[in-house]
Amino acid sequence: MRTALVALTVLLTACSASNVNLRGPSSSAYAPINDSGVTGEISYCNGGAKSVRDARRNDAYEKMYKQCGGAYEIVKEEDQPPAFCAAERRIWFKCKVDQKPAQ
């Protein structure tokens, strides 16, 4: 029973994106014009079966959407040195200007 519970916990944890970090616009009067929106980054494990990778990516999309309160755009994405899994993927995103980030 305990083994099944541990396996289920690992499976559920493995299917989610993590590390959603948001940054608001700079308050500096000297900030560049492209620093006017809310930006963030998210990462997820990009290893395993395609269906599992797709589920993790979809979870990342959902979390970015919720954090931005709607529309967002992907600014950059790349593979990262693995931290907790064999292949980590990181996405940098920017909330659309007319959207308010989630509280």
Containing structural domain, residue 17: 2-24+36-95
Structural domain count, the chain:
1
pLDDT for position 77 = 94
pLDDT for position 32 = 62
Is residue 9 domain-resident? yes
- pLDDT tens for 81-98 read 877 788 899 999 999 865
CA atoms of 1 and 6, how far apart (whole Å): 9
Is residue 30 domain-resident? no
Q: How far is CA 70 from CA 58, 66, 73, 78, in A?
A: 15, 6, 10, 23
Closest residue by Cα to residue 72 from 83, 61, 81: 61
The residue behind tokens 């931290």 is 83
CA atoms of 42 and 21, how far apart (whole Å): 7
Is residue 103 domain-resident? no
Is residue 89 domain-resident? yes
User: Does the reported pTM lie above 0.85?
Assistant: no
Is residue 31 domain-resident? no
The Cβ of residue 39 has, within 10 Å, a number of other Cβ atoms equal to 19
CA atoms of 88 and 65, how far apart (whole Å): 20
